[in-house]
Structure 1
C-alpha cells in the first residue's frame, strides 16, 4: 500500500510537471512547436499548437499563416481560406498569406481568386519564383500562352537552374508553335533532371511537331520507361507502324 501511494504521488507529480511545462510555453515557443510538428507531417497536432499560440495572441501572423497551411494539408480548405483571411487582416504587407491562400483557392477551383492573390503577392515580393510559376500555370491553363511565357521567363531570372520552369516554358513555347524554342527549354529541363519523365514526353511531342518522328518517338519511349501517364497513348498514336 505504501509503495502504491508513493507510485501515485510520482505519477501525479509527472503529470503536474508536464502540465506546468505545456502551459508555460510562450507564443513563440508554441509556434516553433507547431512548425516542428508540421515538419513530421503531424498537421492536426500542429494546429493545436498554433491554436494555443493564438489564444495568447490572436494577432500572431506567423501562427495564423502556418495554421492555414496545416489546414490546407489536411484538406480543410474553407477553414484554411478563413485563416489566411485573418492573417491578411493582421498584416496585409506580407506576401506569404496571399501566396498560400492562392494555393488553397486553386484547390477550390477558384482560379480568379488565386490570380488576384498572386498579383498582390508579386507586388509585395517580386523576387519569389514560385509566384510566377503558379501564375504562369493558371495563364497556361486558360490558353494565355504569351502571358504565361512572360511569367516563366521572369521566374528563370530568379531561379535559372529550376527544371520545372524550363518544362513549363517549353510547353508554352510549343503551344504557340515555337517547337525549336520548346526543344531548347525541354532539353535544359532534362539536363538539370535526367529523370524528368514529363520533360521527355513534351520533348517527344516537340520533335513530332518538327516532323522528326524517329527522335520524337525515342523521347516518348523514355517518358514511357519513366512511367509518365499519357506516353503510351502518344506512342500508339504516333509511333506504331
Structure 2
C-alpha cells in the first residue's frame, strides 16, 4: 500500500510538472534529448509541447525530426505536413519532409520539397546536396552537377559533394574528372570507403591498375561490401 502511494505521488508530480511548463520549455527539453540520441524521450516531450500549443509549427517540426530518427516515416510525414500548414515560410519542414520522401522513394516529391525550401533559405549547403542526390537518382545529371557544384563553391571541405559529383562524371565516362573528385573526397576523409572503392573502379577503367588495386584493397580493409570481390577479380 505504501509503495502504491509513492507511485501515485510520483505520477501526480509528473502531471503537475507537465501542467506547469510552457510549450517552449518542453520543446527545449526535447531538443536536448535529440542531441543525446534519446529520440523516444524526445517524442514524449514534443508531445507535451504540442499539447501546450497546437499552433507551434516548431514543435511539430521537431517531433517529426524525432520520428524520422526513429524511422517512423508515416508519423514524421504527418508532423512535417502540419508544420508546413502552420508556417509555410520556414525552410526546415520542407527540407525535412523532402528527407522523408527520399527515404520512402518518393523522389519527385523530395525534389519538389528541396526546390521549395531553397528560396526560403539558400544558404544551406545540405539543401543543394540533398537535391543533387535526388536529381542524380532521377537521372537529371546536369541539374545534379549544378547542385554539387554549388555545394563545393560554398564549402570546399564537403566530401560528399565531391563523391557524388564524381559518381555522375563516372557515369558519363569522364574518368579523369571522376578520379580527381574521388581523390579529393579521400583526401578529406582517408576512411571514406565508398570513395576509395569508386576511385579504384575509375582507375581500373582509366588503365591505372596499380593505383586501382591499392585503393580497392584500402576499401576492402574498411569493409566495403564489394571491394573484396574486385580485389580477387583484378588484383591477384
TM-score (norm. length: structure 1): 0.89
Equivalent residue for 2:36, pick from 23, 37, 40: 40
**1:175 and 2:157 matched:** no
- What is the CA distance between 1:151 and its match in structure 2? 0.8
Aligned-pair distance for 1:20?
A: 2.9
Match of 1:63 among 55, 59, 63: 59
Q: Is the 8 A contact 2:18 2:48 kept in 1?
A: no
1:148 aligned onto 2:144: yes
Q: Contact conserved, 2:101 with 2:107, CA < 8 A, in 1? A: yes
Aligned-residue RMSD, C-alpha: 2.2
Is the Cα contact below 8 Å between 1:61 and 1:91 reproduced in 2?
yes
Is residue 221 of structure 1 aligned with residue 217 of structure 2? Answer: yes
Counting matched residue pairs gives 236
**Correspondence list, 1:3-22, <5 A:** 16-22=12-18
Instruction: Give the SS at the match of 1:161.
Output: coil
Identify unmatched segments of 5+ residues in structure 2.
Answer: none
Residues in 1 aligned to 2:66 and 2:211: alpha-carbon distance in whole angstroms = 45
Gaps of 5+ in 1: none
**What secondary structure does 2:119 align onto?**
helix
Instruction: Identify the residue that residue 159 of structure 1 maps to in structure 2.
Output: 155
From 212, 230, 236, the equivalent of 1:234 is: 230
Q: Is the 8 A contact 2:114 2:131 kept in 1?
A: yes
SS in 2 for 1:211: coil
In the alignment, structure 1 residue 53 sits paired with structure 2 residue 49? yes
Q: Residues of 2 paired with 1:96 and 1:64: CA distance?
A: 11
Of the structure 1 ranges 10-19 and 163-172, higher mean CA displacement relative to structure 2 is found in 10-19
Cα separation, partners in 2 of 1:171 and 1:57, compared to 1, 3 Å:
same
Alignment deviations for residues 132-151 of structure 1 (CA, whole Å, 9 cap, x no partner)? 11111112223332221111
Please name the residue that 1:92 is paired with. 88
